[in-house]
Structure 1
Amino acid sequence: MKAVVLLLSSLSCLLSLGQLGQKDVTVKKTLKLMGTRFEVTVVAPNEEIGYINIDEAVSEIQRIEKIISSWDENSETSLINKNAGIKPVKVSPELFGLIERSIRISEITDGAFDITYASMDNIWKFDGSMETAPKEEDIRKAVEKIGYQKIVMDPKNQTVFLPEPGMCIGFGAIGKGYAADKAKELMVSKDVKGGIINASGDLTTWGTKVTGEKWLVGIANPLSKDKVFSWLPVIESSVATSGNYEKFIILNGKKYSHIIDPRTGYPTTGINSVSIFAKQAELCDALATAVFIMGRDVGLHMINQMDGVEAVVVDSDNKIHKSSGIIFDMNP
């Protein structure tokens, strides 16, 4: 694998959009989609066309949300969950493919990534309502419902079946990346010259800025989120970051991350953030969660075996670790 020169740091992503060119312009819109903050940026001949492009990208993201959202009781995902232990559910080829890819990532990560983790959603709550940790018995019962190996896929009939009552699937650890990829794919098909789809830090890019320069992502200093540690050029590529700095709870003086290990039912420890760099945002999204759960050494060892994928891990002591293909460059 060729060494990739990346300008790196850790945690929150900021965008450098550059100055407007004389001909094309940069148009950006921020809105809430899929329960999170999306920023859609495009390079267009003028603002009017730019906003039309953005509206098309937003419509694509909303279309995907209607398929994969577990909050929408009419979505295909909700129908699968409602029929757990009852009957298989016929789904669209698109959702069938997403589930198949999710299962492959589960196999690669030894279950650290697992869309059946959703049975844990009612055990740990990170909305400020929890005052005590869940009972061990409740965690054990929820974990019994987890297991990507249990999902029954029927390619011939395009059906998905969860064989145990109470089993659930959810795409919280891969859905935003998938939506970003699909929105980018649509924009490229419509000859939009360049842009960024940023799904709350899970982002993908294409083309260049109006100046012809590369899109830059600044990742904040682990010791000061308000300061950029260094800049990373993202060229026709994607990045996703999982961190415990925004969503967590403190019980009896102990901090619990919102990222739950589906194999144990308990929050992960030892890592503050993981940033994954790869071609597809979908893969970045899933692997960022997986490496966070697997831990620094095991996670980086896995990434080092994967072609075209790189990682930066910030441990709980704010020390930065990297995969073998990354060379730090502090001078953007």
Structure 2
Amino acid sequence: MIKLILAALFIIACQISVAAQENVLVERQVTLMGSVFNITVVDHDSVSANQNIDQCIAEITRIENLISEWQPQTQISEVNRNAGIKPVKVDREVFELTARAIEYSKMSEGAFDISIVALDKIWKFDGSMTEMPTKESIKNSVRNVNYQLILLDRNASTIFLQQKGMKIGFGSIGKGYAADKGRELLQKLGVKSGIVDASGDIATWGTQPNGKPWAIGIRNPFKRHKITKILKLNHGAVATSGNYEKYAEIDGVRYSHIINPKTGFPATGLTSVTIYGSSAEFANALSTSMMVLGKEKGKQLMHKYPLYRYLFITDEGKIIR
């Protein structure tokens, strides 16, 4: 069977024959972190599989209740409320995730930035934009965006946003992190293999019931009915960022909903970036960075991480891998 994962990725799974019921494949779809998650496990029976999926869902819900900037009771919301006022003590898990996000900003020279959630919403990606915002409004839109103003105190486990109006959020890597943590938990529970698919941020382990690797198809947004590449994954992860669903087209130029945190200007040049390696979180950080950096700077950065691979599709439909 073939199941659609976003506009860019397919999971291509095997059909389980009646004779192969020693292991059963159980899948459940659920809305978590504001997105559709598909959790697939290969287990020795359906009762155990469903119990383990329940625990995976509980783990992802726990993460959401820590890092969501939309829920007022979370630690990240408390950090945002105290921007420019005082540091906020957070759980070590939240602290370490924030610390890694800052490292992603440094490695990408600011192309990735969790403080971009404070961006002024001057761009519209619903088809209604017909002309560019003014240069001044674009420049002003990023006045509260600057990862360098996120102050971490490791000993006290605190996060301080040094400027009023700043915010941080994990929309860029949160689902990838949740996919990694869901996979980690299921492995600890003894689940033989499976997939945690967080709306296209995918973490896999083990094999399909027929012993073959999991097959993830990357679809070309310019040729929706064709698969550009099939990834064969055991313990692996894949993430895709792109402007094929949300973009503004002005004077024949397509502007991505992914914004350059330093300039306030939408990314152009790449329609889709797929990164695959071992961690969904890191793959997602890289794919977001690549969209902003563009193909040349993106390839230069990828050379520093040889255990991760890429597939770029340019605005002209050219495939680069």
Letter in 1 for 2:153: D
Deviations 1:268-287 (A, max 9, x none): 10101001111111000110
State yes or no: 1:101 paired with 2:100. yes
- Residues 125 and 53 (structure 1 numbering): CA distance in 2 closer, same or farther, change over 3 Å? farther
Write out the 4+ residue segments of structure 1 that deviate beyond 4 Å after TM superposition: 127-133, 251-254
Shift of 1:133: 4.3
Task: For 2:221 and 2:275, locate their aligned partners in 1 and report how far apart those are by CA, in whole Å.
Answer: 16
What aligned pairs does 1:169-318 form with structure 2 within 5 A after superposition?
Answer: 169-251=168-250, 254-318=253-317
Tell me, yes or no, if structure 1 residue 34 matches structure 2 residue 33: yes
**Gaps (5+ residues) in structure 1?**
1-10, 323-332
Moved more, 50-59 or 122-131: 122-131
TM-score, length of structure 2 as denominator length: 0.92
In 2, distance between residues paired with 1:128 and 1:79? 34
Tell me how far 1:253 sits from its aligned partner: 5.5
Gaps of 5+ in 2: 1-6
- Give the number of aligned pairs: 313
Q: CA offsets per residue over residues 206-248 of structure 1, 9 Å max, x none?
A: 1111111110001113432122233210120101000111112
Separation in structure 1 between the aligned mates of residue 284 and residue 142 of structure 2, nearest angstrom: 23
- In the TM superposition, 1:56-95 aligns within 5 A as 56-95=55-94
- 1:18 is aligned, of 5, 14, 22, to 14
Q: What is the percent sequence identity of the aligned residues?
A: 43
Secondary structure of the residue that 2:123 maps to in structure 1?
Answer: coil
Residue identity matched to 1:187: L
User: By how many angstroms is 1:40 displaced?
Assistant: 0.6
Distance 1:120 1:129 in 2: 19
Q: CA deviation at 1:88?
A: 0.6
Residue 230 of structure 1: SS of its match in structure 2? strand
Q: Is the 8 A contact 1:304 1:310 kept in 2?
A: no
Structural mapping, 1:139-178, within 5 Å: 139-178=138-177
Q: Which has the higher relative contact order, 1 or 2, with Cα contacts under 8 A spaced 6 or more apart?
A: 1
Preserved CA contact (<8 Å) 1:209 1:215: yes
In 1, the alpha carbon distance for the partners of 2:21 and 2:118 equals: 53
TM-aligned CA deviation for residue 47 of structure 1: 1.8
Q: Which amino acid aligns with 2:278?
A: K
Letter in 1 for 2:167: C
Q: CA deviation at 1:130?
A: 5.5
1:114-142: per-residue Cα shift (whole Å, max 9, x none)?
A: 11111115333435666654443333223
Structure 2 distance, partners of 1:125, 1:316, is: 19
User: What TM-score results when the alignment is normalised by the length of structure 1?
Assistant: 0.89
CA distance in 1, matches of 2:246, 2:206: 33
Deviations 1:40-66, CA, capped at 9 Å, x for gaps: 100011222212111111111111111
- What letter corresponds to residue 313 of structure 1 in structure 2? F
Per the alignment, do residues 77 and 135 of structure 1 end up closer, same or farther by CA in structure 2, a change over 3 Å counting? farther
